[in-house]
């Protein structure tokens, strides 16, 4: 189901437990099953066909959109703003409502899972504008990780984009994360006495935002997909 781009692996498990999936006419009640190409798998009564070739897109998320397929509060989502020419896609990672920049989109749930696994080790790089006096020594020490309110954050590489400019007004930082916990940058900056007022993701793993404007999307070439995801062959 994830490979066919219907949903993420987590959602697939939830759909199974909700009784939405059948194999050869029998409702499936556990994801712990080995399937073969001879089995008839249906989701919500619709036949699950062979998965299309894995594809990947780079999307420049604007501020004000949620990275979710549905918001109970009715707020706008990135999936509502995508071109109608795209097939059903899922996101690789998330950006919160007030963050912007690069989001990877794919029609293949296995690609999404691979990219998000900590063992894959893909870095996420950001341009971050903060308000407050930056302690450059404390900023550099983030490379050793930090624990805040009992939550441990791993290595963060952070530096001033312009070391000659460090005042209590807005200052730009360049930061690279290797874990990407929920609202990690904002929480870590707050811990250092800084307030984030703009956050732009400019790279995720081997992919960069480049000159894409907010709201624009472009497809990654098949060759580059295979370089990043060998299992997509």
Task: Give the residue numbers marked as catalytic.
Answer: 96
Mapped onto helix, strand or coil, the DSSP state of residue 194 is coil
Provide the H-helix boundaries in the chain.
Answer: 9-17, 78-81, 109-116, 136-140, 184-191, 222-228
Contact assessment for residue 180 and residue 125, using Cβ atoms and an 8 Å cutoff = no
Centroid of chain to Cα 2: 16
Q: Which of 60, 56, 59, 68 lies closest to 5 in space, CA to CA?
A: 56
Helix, coil or strand: residue 85: coil
Classify residue 209 as left (phi > 0), alpha (psi -120 to 50) or beta.
Answer: alpha
Which residues partner with 81 through β-bridges?
none
What angle separates helix 109-116 from helix 9-17, to the nearest 10 degrees?
Answer: 120
């Amino acid at each position: 189901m994830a490979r066919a781009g219907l949903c993420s692996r987590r959602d697939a498990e939830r759909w199974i437990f909700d009784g939405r999936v059948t194999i050869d006419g029998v409702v499936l009640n556990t994801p712990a099953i080995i399937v073969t190409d001879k089995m008839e798998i249906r989701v919500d009564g619709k036949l699950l066909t062979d998965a299309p070739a894995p594809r990947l897109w780079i999307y420049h998320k604007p501020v004000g959109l949620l990275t979710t397929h549905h918001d109970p509060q009715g707020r706008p989502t990135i999936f509502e703003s995508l071109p109608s020419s795209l097939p059903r896609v899922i996101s690789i990672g998330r950006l919160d409502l007030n963050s912007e920049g690069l989001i990877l989109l794919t029609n293949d749930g296995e690609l999404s899972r691979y990219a998000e696994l900590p063992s894959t080790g893909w870095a996420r790089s950001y341009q971050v504008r903060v308000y407050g006096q930056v302690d450059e020594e404390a900023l550099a020490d983030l490379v050793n990780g930090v624990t805040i309110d009992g939550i441990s954050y791993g290595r963060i590489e952070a530096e001033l984009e312009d070391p000659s400019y460090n005042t209590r007004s807005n200052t730009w930082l360049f930061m690279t994360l290797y874990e990407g916990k929920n609202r990690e940058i904002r929480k870590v900056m707050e811990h250092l006495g800084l307030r984030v007022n703009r956050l732009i993701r400019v790279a995720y793993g081997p992919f960069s935002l480049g000159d894409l404007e907010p709201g624009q999307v472009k497809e990654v070439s098949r060759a580059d997909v295979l370089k990043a995801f060998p299992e997509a062959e």
